[in-house]
Amino acid sequence: MVDDLVPDGAGNHTAPSADCPVETALAAIAGKWTTLLLRELSRAELTFGGLKDTLPELSDKVLADRLATLVDRGVVDRVVHRGYPNRVAYSLIDAGRELRPLLIELYRTGTRLQSLRGGGGDAVSSQRP
Amino acid sequence: MVDDLVPDGAGNHTAPSADCPVETALAAIAGKWTTLLLRELSRAELTFGGLKDTLPELSDKVLADRLATLVDRGVVDRVVHRGYPNRVAYSLIDAGRELRPLLIELYRTGTRLQSLRGGGGDAVSSQRP
DNA sequence: CAGTATCCCTGTTGATACTG
DNA sequence: CAGTATCAACAGGGATACTG
């Protein structure tokens, strides 16, 4: 079936599959802290320590994991600057910038969901006998 | 800071937070099989068994979990039709339809990421000594 | 400074079997 | 038909301590 949700037949799966475009996109931003990191890196190139300063509650280990994953995914570039001490700079690359409209749409959708809950409509009651 | 990624200050968190619109949206579609279920339910109202037929590899338990969660989230409606045997119909409600543009954007972004990988640009090499 | 190495803990997923 | 109950298996996330 091909409709506007699945415009080209690449999304017609009956089980989760890495081939599905939707899963590809979700995989690119998956993981706790990842969208926060993408937000910071879309503002500016940052070093490991710079990221720690910006997100103080994020542990070294998870930060390192997240960054390595983003580099693996081809979303972030990692450049070592030799010196005393060494520094390592992280920045978004092309594929990472492809994520920007998605993050904007996530923000927009989340905002609308929140106003649907808080604002007008009362919670829809689903009958559970 | 307020920019086009964080247009209204509701997204300025330094740690993952349910208040963040981005997390709200991600939470709404979170979970393995969830986007597949949303795809099916956005095509038509379906019963529990109808969903099982459409997604044969999805177990009863996970299907029931996913549906209960979607109902909790206010995204899906659940209506019991008494009879012999009983049937239960699931359908998207307003908040669920708010997710449609997001799913479309996920599809679009995933498609572009896939073509960036497979097609043109060679993988960007990141230096790892 | 920029990470690694362990270890643990929890949540999620799934297989199987059973019920109103 | 539409689930629930139980249990096993695994992955993600995090605290702490250590290193080139």
Band the pLDDT of A77: cuts 50, 70, 90. very high
Q: Could you tell me the distance in Å between the CA of residue A61 and the C1' of nucleotide C8?
A: 15
CB contact under 8 Å between A11 and B107, yes or no, is: yes
Query: CA-based Rg of chain B, rounded to a whole angstrom?
Result: 19
Tell me the nt nearest to B51, Cα to C1': D2
Band the pLDDT of A126: cuts 50, 70, 90. very low
CB contact under 8 Å between A98 and B109, yes or no, is: yes
Band the pLDDT of B129: cuts 50, 70, 90. very low
User: Is A79 touching B (CB cutoff 8 A)?
Assistant: yes
Query: Are B54 and B40 in contact, with CB atoms under 8 Å apart?
Result: yes
CB contact under 8 Å between B98 and A79, yes or no, is: no
Name the DSSP class of A94.
H
Work out the average pLDDT over A74-94: 95
Q: Could you identify the residue whose CA is nearest to the C1' atom of nucleotide D11? A: A31
Question: What tens digit of pLDDT does each residue of B81-98 get?
Answer: 999 899 999 999 998 999
- Rounded distance, CA A60 to CA A110, Å? 29
Strands B46-47 and A76-81: unpaired
Cis peptide bond upstream of B85, omega within 30: yes
In terms of C-beta density within 10 A (0-12 exposed, 13-18 middle, 19 or more buried), how is residue A94 classed? middle
- pLDDT at position A84: 86
Closest CA to B116 of A7, A16, A4, A73: A73
| Residue of chain A nearest B58, judged by CA positions | A15
**Residues of B with Cβ-Cβ distance to A11 under 8 angstroms:** 39, 107
Q: Is the pLDDT of residue B126 over 90?
A: no
Q: Could you tell me the distance in Å between the CA of residue B124 and the C1' of nucleotide D6?
A: 48
Question: What tens digit of pLDDT does each residue of B22-74 get?
Answer: 999 999 999 999 999 999 999 999 999 999 999 999 999 999 999 999 999 99
Q: Is the pLDDT of residue A71 over 60?
A: yes
The pTM of the full predicted model, rounded to 2 decimals, is 0.92
The rounded mean pLDDT for chain A is 91
- pLDDT at position A61: 97
Q: Which nucleotides of C are covered by protein (CB under 7 A)?
A: 1-6, 12-17, 20
Band the pLDDT of A52: cuts 50, 70, 90. very high
Work out the average pLDDT over A74-99: 95
Q: At A10, is the secondary structure helix, strand, or coil?
A: coil
Question: What tens digit of pLDDT does each residue of B106-123 get?
Answer: 999 999 999 998 875 444
- Rounded distance, CA B54 to CA B46, Å? 10
Q: Is the pLDDT of residue A123 over 60?
A: no
- Rounded distance, CA A123 to CA B71, Å? 10
Query: Are B113 and A28 in contact, with CB atoms under 8 Å apart?
Result: yes
- pLDDT at position A120: 59
CB contact under 8 Å between B94 and A55, yes or no, is: no
Q: Is the pLDDT of residue A39 over 90?
A: yes
Q: Residue A33, by phi and psi: left (phi above 0), alpha (psi -120 to 50) or beta? A: left
More confident site: A23 or B128? A23
